[in-house]
């Protein structure tokens, strides 16, 4: 069922690997001409334009952009108790992990009276986007809100698409998750228009702009994030979900089949990749997928993803080559199913998150491992990280020198200023120790 890429018997370079490995084709540039007018319309006309686009794309206009408190309360009151308990446990675990991510301030003493202190200041107002297309994602509410709260952000707004089936408000499970987290500002707006409204706000509608927009979304949301970057910060340009599995012949083919299917369930463009030196395991996994994927409710979507060019089986000579392939692929989610899985995981350098062993599947991280599920895609794990408490913090240096310390370093500053032909920089130092050429 899956395409096979056979790398055995050769040692491809990193650039050859990047070209050979399966990868989805999502061209954000191709949709920029479609998205740019939406962003500009919202920039110019605010909430009115956003609601007009919502009517066009979502088929509904909410009674207001801001979801009333009583609607949110009702969503939680009507949510199945088992789901409430699951959300509460997920929130607790994610909060424990993200609370420990916040770094402490520290001071470096360079000389007597000369210090530099690094402090970590939260971004003040954050906009958290939660998609609402082919699935409902209360887990994305948790993954966005908790790290922002643990960073100490003073103002949070969640934006999620209005639903025609739910009175024009975001899905009730999304609203319930917001209520459990104490989020009291929720906007019923989705897509590119939501990103634009978060970035530019609307004073007339009492919608304050944010300082950063985070959260996953489709290619139109990603394009909008690219267009507003610089006006606001963004976390990343997220692509379709990815899983890679590095496995040897000790792995259970049924486990691997289900894990590959589970990520294919996200989207027709989702990527599922198996990397192994065992041709026998590859055949077993492929057979198990063929036998099992049809029983899932989203079988058509799974089939589209697994048969697409972005998914496949990569055959390698040995585990060492498998590690090299995994690093070149730089998966959003990487599972390790090998002997000594932890030791193998510690050799990986490029992955959004690494799931170690047979009992740490990706769905664990999607919901309740405690880690964050908003992760770098499309190979960007080579140079970027997933969403975390750090995303919502800014490092600021406090530079504090006394007179003696500045006088000691002053000649070096003057010499460098003269070397750069910026003499006024040097005069700024001299002015503190000289009066018209005389030392004071």
Q: What is the largest CA-CA distance in the chain?
A: 90
Rounded CA-CA distance 226/219 in Å is: 11
**Can you read off the two tokens belonging to residue 437?**
């050429």
CA geometry: angle at 15 spanning 9 and 17, to 5°?
A: 40
Q: So what's the pLDDT on residue 60?
A: 94
| Digit-coded pLDDT (tens) for 84-139 | 999 999 999 999 999 999 999 999 999 999 999 999 999 999 999 999 866 788 99
120 marked as binding residue: no
| Dihedral of alpha carbons 408, 412, 415, 417, sign | negative
Q: So what's the pLDDT on residue 440?
A: 64
Q: So what's the pLDDT on residue 421?
A: 98
Angle between helices 172-181 and 69-77 (to 10 degrees): 100
Beta bridge partners of 191: none
- Catalytic-role residue among 237, 265, 288, 332: 332
Task: Compute the chain's Rg from CA coordinates.
Answer: 26
- Catalytic-role residue among 98, 333, 337, 373: 333
Q: So what's the pLDDT on residue 115?
A: 98
Question: Taking the model in full, what pTM does it have?
Answer: 0.92
421 marked as binding residue: no
Element (H, E) at 394: strand 393-401
**Residue closest to 189 by CA, chosen among 39, 46, 38, 62:** 62
Are the C-beta atoms of residues 128 and 163 closer than 8 Å to each other? no
SS3 353: strand
**Residue closest to 169 by CA, chosen among 85, 56, 70, 91:** 70
| Digit-coded pLDDT (tens) for 223-239 | 999 999 999 999 988 88
* pLDDT profile of the chain (440 residues), mean per 10: 92 89 82 97 97 94 96 98 98 98 97 98 97 83 98 97 94 97 97 98 96 93 96 91 96 97 90 97 96 88 92 97 96 97 98 98 96 94 96 98 97 98 96 74
- Is 332 noted as a catalytic residue in this protein? yes
266 marked as binding residue: yes
The domains found in the chain, sorted by start residue, are 4-26+241-353 (3.40.50.1980), 28-106+120-238 (3.40.50.1980), 402-439 (no CATH)
412 marked as binding residue: no
100 marked as binding residue: no
163 marked as binding residue: no
- Is 333 noted as a catalytic residue in this protein? yes
Rounded CA-CA distance 233/226 in Å is: 10
Are the C-beta atoms of residues 46 and 205 closer than 8 Å to each other? yes
Are the C-beta atoms of residues 246 and 277 closer than 8 Å to each other? no
Instruction: Give the count of beta carbons closer than 10 Å to the beta carbon of residue 99.
Output: 14
Q: Name the pairing type of β-strands 312-315 and 4-6.
A: parallel
Q: So what's the pLDDT on residue 390?
A: 97
420 marked as binding residue: yes
Are the C-beta atoms of residues 336 and 344 closer than 8 Å to each other? yes
310 marked as binding residue: no
């Amino acid at each position: 069922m899956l395409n096979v890429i056979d790398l055995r018997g050769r040692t491809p370079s990193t650039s050859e690997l990047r070209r050979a490995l399966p990868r989805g084709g999502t061209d954000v540039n191709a949709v920029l001409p479609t998205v740019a007018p939406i962003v500009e319309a919202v920039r110019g006309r605010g909430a009115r334009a956003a609601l007009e686009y919502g009517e066009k794309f979502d088929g509904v206009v909410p009674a207001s952009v801001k979801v009333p408190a009583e609607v949110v309360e009702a969503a939680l009151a009507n949510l199945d108790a088992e789901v409430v308990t699951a959300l509460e446990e997920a929130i607790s675990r994610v909060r424990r992990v993200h609370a420990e991510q916040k770094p402490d301030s520290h001071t470096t003493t360079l000389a007597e009276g000369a210090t530099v202190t690094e402090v970590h200041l939260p971004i003040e107002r954050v906009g958290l986007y939660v998609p609402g297309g082919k699935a409902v994602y209360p887990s994305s509410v948790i993954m966005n809100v908790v790290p922002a709260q643990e960073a100490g952000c003073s103002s949070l707004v969640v934006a999620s698409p209005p639903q025609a089936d739910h009175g024009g408000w975001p899905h009730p499970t999304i609203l319930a998750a917001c209520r459990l987290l104490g989020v009291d500002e929720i906007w019923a707006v989705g897509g590119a228009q939501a990103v634009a409204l978060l970035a530019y706000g609307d004073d007339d509608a009492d919608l304050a702009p944010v300082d950063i927009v985070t959260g996953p979304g489709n290619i139109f949301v990603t394009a909008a994030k690219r267009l507003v970057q610089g006006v606001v910060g963004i976390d990343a340009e997220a692509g379709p979900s990815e899983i890679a599995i590095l496995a040897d012949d000790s792995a259970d083919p049924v486990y691997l089949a289900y894990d590959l299917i589970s990520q294919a369930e996200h989207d027709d463009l989702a990527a599922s990749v198996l990397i192994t030196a065992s041709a026998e395991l590859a055949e077993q996994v492929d057979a198990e997928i063929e036998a099992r994927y049809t029983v899932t409710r989203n079988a058509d979507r799974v089939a589209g993803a697994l048969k697409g060019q972005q998914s496949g089986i990569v055959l390698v000579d040995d585990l060492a080559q498998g590690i090299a392939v995994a690093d070149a692929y730089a998966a959003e989610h990487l599972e390790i199913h090998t002997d000594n899985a932890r030791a193998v995981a510690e050799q990986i350098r490029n992955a959004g998150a690494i799931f170690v062993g047979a009992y740490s599947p990706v769905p664990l991280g999607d919901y309740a491992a405690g880690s964050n599920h908003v992760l770098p895609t499309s190979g960007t794990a080579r140079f970027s990280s997933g969403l975390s408490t750090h995303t919502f913090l800014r490092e600021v240096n406090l530079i504090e020198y006394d007179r003696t310390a500045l006088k000691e370093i002053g000649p070096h500053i003057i010499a460098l200023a003269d070397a750069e032909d910026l003499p006024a920089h040097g005069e700024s130092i001299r002015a503190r120790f000289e009066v018209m050429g005389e030392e004071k």
